[in-house]
């Protein structure tokens, strides 16, 4: 039998390695930005076209490379940062992956231009699919410029798995934020399709956060500082009242490297316990400095997950530091038994004494003079006089009836021709006079399910999903026919967003107006709204827009759906009745009737079951 095991060619091995390194254009951005930082660059420029599918270019003013290094950088397992295996556990650099450039060059067209400061001329190399096309000497500025064009040009199957440009650009911006926040002393700029998206000058950490997330972020930040032998913490957390439902503003940096850690995130949530609304997520931008030998950053291909030697200690320190900052800046409620002199009343009661009150002891409220007799016209045309009447005397009670005689022959006491006005009888609009009051047909279970009876048994309806379906079809109809009904606000509602979020709102403005929103202006990180859809509370508007922006950026559910469909789904999800909300019998019946008036009542907008039926036979089997 012939041998069947064989060594893979280098270009195939590089394409396989690219599957770990390059998942999408954002992966290329991350690798190139980190290489630029390790080259001691002070200014880094990122240029993107078509969300990175056509071009990803990073230009820096770092040290550059010699002609030999430029060529070797595209070989597998070539790196300048590791000499031995022990160095893997003492890393202070970023782009140490040996397959990065080799893997990128295997699945794209790569052009490298680089020059060192002490050299007059630089080097340019062009590689297409791991094949070196040319290497020449050129005139170029000091530093490195690396262009990655036509990503996955030779692997169409991988290219088909890329999402829409909106989603891919969101991932690129996320990576840009992570790198830029970790290095505020470096200037960053980003251009997308020829438009400058970000221009971040060198600054301190607080200014870098404000420059990325908008000027209004400055008032939301609470500083966190803690230094111990095990861990040094610096950075900021957001005030609880500004918490959002999305996790877009949660950043952990360990030794200037962005990481994700559910364990440390739990420590932050624990520190915010009791201060956040249900479903709200705290914002934090925290730098953690630890000994490089106490962490292992090689447990995940993207290096975003790391392992700590002593996680429990880090958890306790982080939780205490955040809790202390919230209390120190009067964000969290505290018990303070020390008397504050500023709250004392400035009056001296010992000198002034109590104020005196004079009372007229001869005053009698029941003593009164006899008022003049008043004549009041009676309803029959006569008149009667109103004599004086003393409360303490009932002797002249009969005087009250003097003058009640009418001018005609009949007296006022003759009731034979008195006519009474008939009271209009209010009848129910929904039932006849003799109809017995309708019995209750729906019941609410655990403030989550609505139980309704049918001929064959009963229905169990999920109130949240059912209301989503009802609202979804309403919004979709309003957007389609462009006849959304608005309710005017007494005062314009002013909301603040980042530049990237403002751009998304401008894209969705026309569809939002079709649902009932009225925008007065959208500019300078500020949105002014003068009208909202009917039944949308003013307090929910910011939550709706934040959820909508998050859904559009992450394209929930998928790129196969239109923007109109996505908008209707997002708004329905935000405004639907929540689990745990109590409903009256009338509201329950109304929701059931609206649900079965929909085109597709069986499923929610996200294709989840809205109700289940249980027949009498199925119930009988439960008791067998």
What is the pLDDT averaged over residues 519-529? 88
- Residue 498: is its pLDDT beyond 60? yes
Q: Which helix (H) or strand (E) holds 34?
A: helix 25-38
- Best-predicted range by mean pLDDT among 333-347, 545-559, 560-574? 560-574
Q: First-to-last CA distance in the chain? A: 64
pLDDT at 415: 54
* Whether the predicted pLDDT of 381 surpasses 50: no
Give the mean model confidence (pLDDT) for residues 575-603: 89
**Residue that is written with structure tokens 């699945």 in the block:** 107
* pLDDT higher than threshold 80 for residue 554: no
Task: Supply 364's token pair.
Answer: 């009698």
The string of DSSP letters for 324-390 reads: HHHHHTT-S-----SPPGGGS-S--HHHH-PPP----TT--TT----PPPEEEE-TTS-EEEE----
Phi, psi torsion values for 58, nearest 5 degrees: -125, 125
Q: Which of 101-115, 362-376, 403-417 has the lowest mean pLDDT?
A: 403-417
**8 Å CB contact between 571 and 515:** yes
294-298 average pLDDT score:
73
Position 332 pLDDT exceeds 70: no
Q: How confident is the model at residue 212 (pLDDT cuts 50, 70, 90)?
A: very high
Work out the pLDDT band at 560, boundaries 50, 70, 90: very low
Kindly state the DSSP code that residue 414 receives in the 8-state scheme: -
| β pairing state of 122-128 and 109-115 | antiparallel
Residue 337 has pLDDT above 70, yes or no: no
Q: Where are the alpha helices (DSSP H) in 107-237?
A: 156-160, 165-182, 205-213
What pLDDT, in 10s, does the model give residues 590-605? 999 999 999 999 999 8
When mean pLDDT is compared across 138-147, 266-275, 421-430, the lowest value belongs to: 421-430
Which domains are seen in the chain, by residue range? 10-200 (3.30.565.10), 212-328 (3.30.230.10), 443-613 (3.30.1370.100)
Lowest mean pLDDT among 19-28, 291-300, 469-478: 291-300
Question: What pLDDT is stored for residue 378 in this prediction?
Answer: 46
Task: Report the alpha-carbon distance of residue 277 to residue 525 in Å, rounded.
Answer: 25
Does pTM top 0.75 for this prediction? no
Spatial CA neighbour of 506 closest among 517, 574, 562, 49: 517
Predicted confidence (pLDDT) at residue 518 exceeds the cutoff of 50: yes
Residue-averaged pLDDT of the chain? 80
Picking from 455, 472, 432, 452, the residue whose alpha carbon sits closest to that of residue 566 is: 472
227-255 tens-digit pLDDT = 998 889 999 999 988 888 888 889 999 98
The tens digit of pLDDT for each residue in 389-402 reads 444 455 565 565 66
CB 449 within 8 A of CB 460: yes
Confidence grade of residue 47 (pLDDT, cut at 50, 70, 90): very high
């Amino acid at each position: 039998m012939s041998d069947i095991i064989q060594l893979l060619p280098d270009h195939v091995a590089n394409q396989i390695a690219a599957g770990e390194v390059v998942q999408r254009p954002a992966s290329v951005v991350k690798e190139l930005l980190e290489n630029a930082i390790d080259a001691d660059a002070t200014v880094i420029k990122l240029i993107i076209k078509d969300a990175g599918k056509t071009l990803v270019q990073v230009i820096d003013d770092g040290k550059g490379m010699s002609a030999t290094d430029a060529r070797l950088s595209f070989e597998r397992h070539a790196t300048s940062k590791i000499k031995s295996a022990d160095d893997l556990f003492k890393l202070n650099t970023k782009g140490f992956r040996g397959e990065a450039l080799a893997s990128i060059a295997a699945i794209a067209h790569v052009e490298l231009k680089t020059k060192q400061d002490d050299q007059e001329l630089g080097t340019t190399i062009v590689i297409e699919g791991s094949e070196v096309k040319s290497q020449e000497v050129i005139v170029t500025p000091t530093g490195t410029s690396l262009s990655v064009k036509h990503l996955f040009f030779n692997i169409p199957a991988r290219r088909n798995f890329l999402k829409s440009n909106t989603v891919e650009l969101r991932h690129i911006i996320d990576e840009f934020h992570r790198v830029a926040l970790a290095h505020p002393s470096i200037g960053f700029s980003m251009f997308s399709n020829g438009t400058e998206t970000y221009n971040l000058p060198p600054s301190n950490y607080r200014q870098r956060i404000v420059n990325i997330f908008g000027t209004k972020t400055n008032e939301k930040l609470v500083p966190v500082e803690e230094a111990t032998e095990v861990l040094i913490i610096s950075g900021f957390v957001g005030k609880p009242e500004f918490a959002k439902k999305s996790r877009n503003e949660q950043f952990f940096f360990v030794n200037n490297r962005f990481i994700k850690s559910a364990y440390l995130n739990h420590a932050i949530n624990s520190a915010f316990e009791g201060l956040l609304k249900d479903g709200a997520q705290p914002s934090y931008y925290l730098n953690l400095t630890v000994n490089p030998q106490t962490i292992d950053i090689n447990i995940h291909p993207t290096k975003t997950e790391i392992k700590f030697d002593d996680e429990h200690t880090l958890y306790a320190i982080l939780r205490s530091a955040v809790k202390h900052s919230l209390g120190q800046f009067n964000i969290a409620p505290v018990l303070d038994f020390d008397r504050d002199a500023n709250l004392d009343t400035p009056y001296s009661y010992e000198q002034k004494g109590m104020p005196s009150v004079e009372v007229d002891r001869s005053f009698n409220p029941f003593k009164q003079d006899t008022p003049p007799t008043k004549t009041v016209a009676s309803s029959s045309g006569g008149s009667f006089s109103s004599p004086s009447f003393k409360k303490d005397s009932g002797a002249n009670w009969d005087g009250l009836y003097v003058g009640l005689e009418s001018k005609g022959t009949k007296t006022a006491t003759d009731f034979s021709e008195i006519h009474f006005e008939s009271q209009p009888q209010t009848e129910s609009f929904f039932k006849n006079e003799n109809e017995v009051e309708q019995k209750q047909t729906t019941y609410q279970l655990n403030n989550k399910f609505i139980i309704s009876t049918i001929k064959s048994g009963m229905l169990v309806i999920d109130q949240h999903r059912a209301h989503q379906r009802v609202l979804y079809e309403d919004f979709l109809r309003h957007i389609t026919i462009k006849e959304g009904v608005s309710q005017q606000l007494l005062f314009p509602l002013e909301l603040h967003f980042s530049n990237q979020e403002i751009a998304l709102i401008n894209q969705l403005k026309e569809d939002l107006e079709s649902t009932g929103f009225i925008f007065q202006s959208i500019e300078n990180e500020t949105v002014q709204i003068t009208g909202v859809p009917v039944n949308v509370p003013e307090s929910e508007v910011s939550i709706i827009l934040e959820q909508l922006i998050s859904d559009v950026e992450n394209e929930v559910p998928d790129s196969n759906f239109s923007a109109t469909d996505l908008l209707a789904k997002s708004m329905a999800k935000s405004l639907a009745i929540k689990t745990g909300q109590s409903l009256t019998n009338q509201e329950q019946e109304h929701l059931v009737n609206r649900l079965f008036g929909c085109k597709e009542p069986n499923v929610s907008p996200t294709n989840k079951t809205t109700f289940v039926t249980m027949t009498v036979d199925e119930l009988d089997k439960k008791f067998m």
